[in-house]
Chains A and B, each alone.
Chain A
């Protein structure tokens, strides 16, 4: 029997129409059920149960959970969230399913440790995760570096940071700066220079463009903090000498205190305010800066992937 052309046409049109209309209806359903997505749901919380259910294909399931953790963190981070309740369980599941998934420890610890909105504000969970990673991957010196980094940056626990760096430096192939960092922790832990060395090490040792971009942002922020502190010190010295505040950087230049108008790491000139404070011109472009922001400044929503 020959197929009917009329039926074929009508069925084809109906098929396309149904696809289009059902998609539109689904979009409507999504709008009605805002926040009712899978994002906040973890149906099975036990890594052991999931490992059993994977029927031995646990590597793929770990990749799925790690991707889910990245997506969860990315969305929350973009929204400027203060709570990341599912992040730690997702990371626990991903690493329990595949204990050799080093990338999950490296990034996961750095997602967990920083205070919101830059991270989940869970340095203790970050340390647990990094230590679990070190136990399962004793040759991955990057995990010892990450552990030391969390102790240094988030907890300011310099002896423990020194111990982590020293431990990592003993692993064959470890970056030679780990030894230096361990020594620095003992003497100059709170210095700006130590912080700069930490981020420089991160910048130079990572292969990931996101980590490198993040390190570059922090290095720029440290540079701004240092510049602003120095410039404000020069302004104070000028006032002590001249008896009044400088009207512009030209006054400092004329006094031989600086050469030319100072610029921030992005090439914008710093602003000298009438009260003697120094501000950056575009604070939104310089995340993580502690100095040089206008009074009452609130940073914008963080970008998940800063540009290098």
Chain B
């Protein structure tokens, strides 16, 4: 990573921290401790499972919300505050600005996920009194969640490069929802005929496939995750985020900022 990208990324991270983005960790801590203590009293036999399901779901949803809400303002806020012109008047290329912003927000989300993961494991220790070998699969689920954040962050940044924050939020959230149904979309494409079939196939491959990145339920039941899936998901998420980032760079390069 070149120095300019690194500076933009570290500034984005510092700005997110200054904007109290990490305050969500307090809410998360309350949620996890409440769940760990209360669920045993209101349900039967799912104390550990709830900690895993609730913990990982919260990590994922908190992160997606942060990725969208922060990501949509990454470019537009800089234009509104006119700080973008100062940055671009220095020897910083537009693509470096976009990539730096991406890494800055991705880094914020990784740090956020790290602390949330600590919370999940602490709650797990509280309800189970010990760790077991299969708890290691939770790390894989958390890794997949981070991959999911890369995709969502890239999408939020893409929309931020050409539209208003509200439009960007709507578009990014809509793609998150559609991405969760990506497998259904491919199933629909398989059943369709003619032009509809090709349109559906195109749409199915264009939207992010987020369902493959969700293994929360299976790791909750201590089921292992295949190494091939880890490799394939990593490749897919990096390629998809890279593709979206290229789109964002292309749009931003040609955008008239005057």
Binary per-residue interface labels of chain A (165-193) against chain B in the complex, 1 for a CB within 8 Å, 0 otherwise: 00000000000000000000000000000
Q: Which of B103-111, B118-126, B211-219 contacts A (4 or more CB under 8 A)?
A: B211-219
Which residues in B have some Cβ–Cβ distance to A below 8 Å? 39, 42-46, 49-50, 52-54, 57, 60-61, 177, 180-181, 184, 210-211, 214, 216-218, 220-221, 223
Give, as a whole number of angstroms, the nearest-CB distance from B112 to chain A: 18
A-B contact count (CB 8 A): 63
Tell me whether A60 and B54 are in contact (CB under 8 A).
yes
Q: A63-B50, A100-B221 are in contact. Are A57 and B57 (CB under 8 A)?
A: yes
Tell me whether B44 and A56 are in contact (CB under 8 A).
no
Tell me whether A67 and B39 are in contact (CB under 8 A).
yes
Query: Which residues of the partner chain B approach A59 to less than 8 Å between Cβ atoms?
Result: 49, 52-53, 57, 216-217, 220
In the A-B complex, list the 8 residue pairs whose CB atoms are closest, starting with the nearest. A103-B45, A59-B217, A67-B43, A60-B53, A59-B53, A56-B214, A55-B180, A100-B221
Give, as a whole number of angstroms, the nearest-CB distance from B14 to chain A: 30
Tell me whether B42 and A208 are in contact (CB under 8 A).
no
Residue A107, interface by CB 8 Å: yes
Among the listed B42, B49, B214, which residue makes an inter-chain contact with A57, where contact means beta carbons less than 8 Å apart?
B214
Query: Which residues of the partner chain B approach A70 to less than 8 Å between Cβ atoms?
Result: 42-44
Give, as a whole number of angstroms, the nearest-CB distance from A31 to chain B: 23
Tell me whether B44 and A98 are in contact (CB under 8 A).
no
Chain A's interface size range is 20 to 34
A60 to B177, CA, bound (A): 17
A45 to B20, CA, bound (A): 41
Residue A151, interface by CB 8 Å: no
Q: A60-B54, A63-B49, A98-B217 are in contact. Are A55 and B44 (CB under 8 A)?
A: no
Max chain B C-beta neighbours (<10 A), residue from A56, A57, A101, A107: A56
Query: Which residues of the partner chain A approach B177 to less than 8 Å between Cβ atoms?
Result: 55
Residue A71, interface by CB 8 Å: yes
Closest to B58 in A: A60
Closest to A100 in B: B221
A62 to B50, CA, bound (A): 10
Give, as a whole number of angstroms, the nearest-CB distance from A102 to chain B: 8
A208 to B177, CA, bound (A): 38
